[in-house]
């Protein structure tokens, strides 16, 4: 894994040394950030189910003002910290070690708002092992975290259908790349 563009372009990130964590591929990350390019500079980004931190670190490399990482697994949390240190990122971020539901509720209570929210929950056998529900069902609270002109992206298996809505947010676009897909959500017009 490497940072694709921006001030940290070419930096290699540490990968997990255990099974059960599925990092977003460089190709899919590049596709995602090509779509998000006009929105990144100065954005507040939420990297939900952050894993290695690659999505949030890529956003920081491309000029995001602040990145909030949410990750429940202690090993992945430590991996995010290692990758941030390795990339020389000392500020402009926060790491929340909690379940996504808990983090979303806490952030909503703090009136946090994000321009870009990327959710990459476990799917398939990984979701079953972690006891996660179907995509969209556990994300009802996340709508309150999205800025009025913001975008939420849900990564999921291409063989599964993404929900038409996540809370109050409507699906606006789907991008399929191999075994993975990206579904984009926004506030209805």
Residue at 8 is within a domain: no
Q: What CATH number corresponds to the domain at position 110?
A: 3.40.50.150
The Cα-based distances of 118 to 16, 17, 68, 88, 151 in angstroms read 20, 23, 10, 22, 9
Q: For the segment 52-92, what is each residue's pLDDT rounded down to a tens digit?
A: 999 999 999 999 999 999 999 999 999 999 999 999 999 99
Residue at 122 is within a domain: yes
**Structural domain count, the chain:** 1
Alpha carbons within 13 A on the beta-carbon side of 138: 19
Coil, helix or strand at residue 168: coil
Residue 19's pLDDT is 67
In this structure, the dihedral spanned by the alpha carbons of residues 14, 20, 26 and 30, taken in order and rounded to 10 degrees, is -120
Residue at 167 is within a domain: yes
Residue at 1 is within a domain: no
Residue at 160 is within a domain: yes
The ranges of the chain with pLDDT < 70 are 18-23, 124-140
Residue at 10 is within a domain: no
- Rounded to whole angstroms, the Cα distance separating 39 from 150 reads 9
Residue at 84 is within a domain: yes
Residue 130's pLDDT is 41
Q: Helix/strand/coil (H, E, C) string of 32-96?
A: HHHHHHHHHCCCEEEEECCCCCHHHHHHHHCCCCEEEEECCCHHHHHHHHHHHHHHCCCCCEEEE
Domain that holds residue 180: 26-186
Residue 132's pLDDT is 43
Beta bridge partners of 154: 119, 183
Residue at 18 is within a domain: no
Residue 34's pLDDT is 95
């Amino acid at each position: 894994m490497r940072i694709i563009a921006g001030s940290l372009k070419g930096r290699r990130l540490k990968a997990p040394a255990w099974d059960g964590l599925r990092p977003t591929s460089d190709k899919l990350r590049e596709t995602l950030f090509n779509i998000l390019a006009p929105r990144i500079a100065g954005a507040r980004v939420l990297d939900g189910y952050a894993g290695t931190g690659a999505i949030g670190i890529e956003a920081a490399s491309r000029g995001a003002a602040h990145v909030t990482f949410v990750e429940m697994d202690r090993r992945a949390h430590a991996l995010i910290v290692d990758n941030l240190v390795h990339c020389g990122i000392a500020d402009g971020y926060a790491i929340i070690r909690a379940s996504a539901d808990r983090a979303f509720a806490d952030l909503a209570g703090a009136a946090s708002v994000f321009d870009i929210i990327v959710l990459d929950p476990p799917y398939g056998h990984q979701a079953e092992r972690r006891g996660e529900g179907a995509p969209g069902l556990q994300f009802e609270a996340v709508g309150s975290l999205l800025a009025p002109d913001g975008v939420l992206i849900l990564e999921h298996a291409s063989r599964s259908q993404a929900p038409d809505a996540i809370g109050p947010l409507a699906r606006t676009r789907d991008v399929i790349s191999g075994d993975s897909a990206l579904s984009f959500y926004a506030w209805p017009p």
